[in-house]
């Protein structure tokens, strides 16, 4: 389990994230919502160890995250940043196979996993192509396949952190990618995902964390967090919240 305990981050004398507590649960997807500048990426940076907390601590299995080093840590924690890029003409399979570097599972198994994760994110047809020839959305799916391959097929004790993985995708691939993330969590892994689309968050997340001005404004189930008062306070928007007629999750409609 990955936990943040009273985590705060200050930059230039200003608090950009204050006193955040969270615990990622096995088999669950936690969605992080909030406007630009709310502290979402700072939270992700602290949780993956790239950004030092000004106070508080991050624990992985009750041990400080900083004490997990190298391959051992990479076998447990994978991160997809907001933007990923490569400048070399690797093939799609070579890019995805980079996710298998922390493991010694052999070429045959790694090849099977590469093929499985590419199919999982609806990118199997990209096999054999050069990464540099792909569109932005195709590259995004290949990088998601890479981080999925790092932990595939997902298990209790593994943690996947995703920063806006649907930002460059068309509506069809937004759904297919989040379907893949949901299935990955269903194998027992813990997932944290930063999203801007409130309806996608309502559909795919078990729990939501709503950030505003660097602090937690609401936390709980989608029904508890996606309330008109919370959304107006944080985003400044007026909404109707109804129940999805088929799936039952909250459906957010801008007034």
For residue 57, the tally of other CB atoms under 10 A from its CB is 14
**What pLDDT, on the 0 to 100 scale, is given for residue 186?**
97
Give the C-alpha separation, 185 to 192, whole Å. 10
- Give the tens place of pLDDT for each residue, 188-217: 999 999 999 999 999 999 999 999 999 999
In terms of residues, how long is the chain?
A: 255
- Give the tens place of pLDDT for each residue, 126-171: 999 999 999 999 999 999 999 999 999 999 999 999 999 999 999 9
**What pLDDT, on the 0 to 100 scale, is given for residue 207?**
98
In the block, tokens 């379907």 appear at 179
Closest Cα to residue 178, out of 135, 121, 126? 121
CATH number at residue 70: 3.40.50.300
Give the C-alpha separation, 196 to 209, whole Å. 12
What's the pLDDT band for 85 if we cut at 50, 70, 90?
confident
- What global pTM score does this model have? 0.95
Question: How confident is the prediction for the chain on average, in pLDDT?
Answer: 95
Give the C-alpha separation, 58 to 182, whole Å. 24
- Give the tens place of pLDDT for each residue, 37-83: 899 999 999 999 999 999 999 999 999 999 998 899 999 999 999 87
Q: What is the count of structural domains for the chain?
A: 1
What mean pLDDT comes out for the span 98-111? 95
Left if phi > 0, otherwise alpha if psi is -120 to 50, otherwise beta: which for 122? left
| Burial category of 74 from C-beta neighbours within 10 Å (exposed 0-12, middle 13-18, buried 19 and up) | middle
Give the C-alpha separation, 12 to 81, whole Å. 23
For 24-119, strand residue ranges (E) read: 29-33, 55-60, 63-64, 77-80
pLDDT of 88 strictly over 90:
no
**What pLDDT, on the 0 to 100 scale, is given for residue 5?**
96
Expressed in angstroms, the distance from the first to the final Cα of the chain is 39
**What pLDDT, on the 0 to 100 scale, is given for residue 12?**
82
**What pLDDT, on the 0 to 100 scale, is given for residue 233?**
96
> 143: number of CA atoms within 13 Å, CB side?
25
3-state secondary structure of 38: coil
**What pLDDT, on the 0 to 100 scale, is given for residue 115?**
97
The 10 Å CB-count burial string (b at 16+, else e) for 180-202 is: bbbebbeeebbbbbbbebbbbbb
What's the pLDDT band for 251 if we cut at 50, 70, 90?
very high
**What pLDDT, on the 0 to 100 scale, is given for residue 11?**
86
Task: Answer yes or no: are the C-beta atoms of 17 and 42 closer than 8 Å.
Answer: yes
- Give the tens place of pLDDT for each residue, 10-23: 988 889 999 999 99
Closest Cα to residue 209, out of 54, 21, 65? 21
Which residue range is the domain that position 181 belongs to?
2-254
Percent of the chain with pLDDT strictly greater than 90: 91
């Amino acid at each position: 389990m990955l936990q943040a305990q009273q985590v705060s981050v200050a930059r230039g004398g200003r608090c950009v994230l204050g006193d955040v507590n969270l615990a990622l649960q096995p088999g669950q997807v936690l969605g992080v919502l909030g406007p630009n500048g709310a502290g979402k990426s700072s939270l992700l940076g602290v949780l993956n160890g790239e950004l030092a907390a000004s106070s508080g601590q991050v624990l992985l299995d009750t041990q400080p995250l900083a004490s997990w080093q190298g391959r051992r840590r990479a076998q447990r924690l994978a991160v997809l940043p907001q933007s990923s890029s490569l400048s070399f003409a690797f093939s799609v399979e070579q890019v995805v196979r980079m996710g298998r570097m922390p493991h010694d599972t052999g070429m045959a198994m790694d090849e099977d996993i590469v093929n499985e994760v590419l199919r999982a994110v609806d990118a199997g047809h990209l096999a054999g192509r050069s990464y540099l020839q792909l569109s932005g959305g195709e590259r995004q799916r290949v990088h998601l396949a890479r981080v999925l391959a790092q932990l595939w097929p997902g298990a209790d004790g593994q943690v996947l952190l995703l920063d806006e993985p649907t930002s460059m995708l068309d509506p069809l691939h937004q759904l297919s990618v989040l379907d893949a993330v949901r299935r990955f969590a269903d194998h027992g892994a813990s997932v944290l995902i930063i999203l801007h689309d409130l309806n996608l968050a309502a559909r795919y997340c078990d729990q939501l964390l709503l950030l505003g001005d660097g602090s937690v404004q609401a936390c709980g189930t989608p029904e508890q967090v996606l309330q008109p008062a919370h959304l107006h306070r944080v985003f400044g928007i007026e909404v109707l919240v109804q129940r999805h007629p088929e799936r039952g999750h909250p459906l957010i409609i801008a007034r």
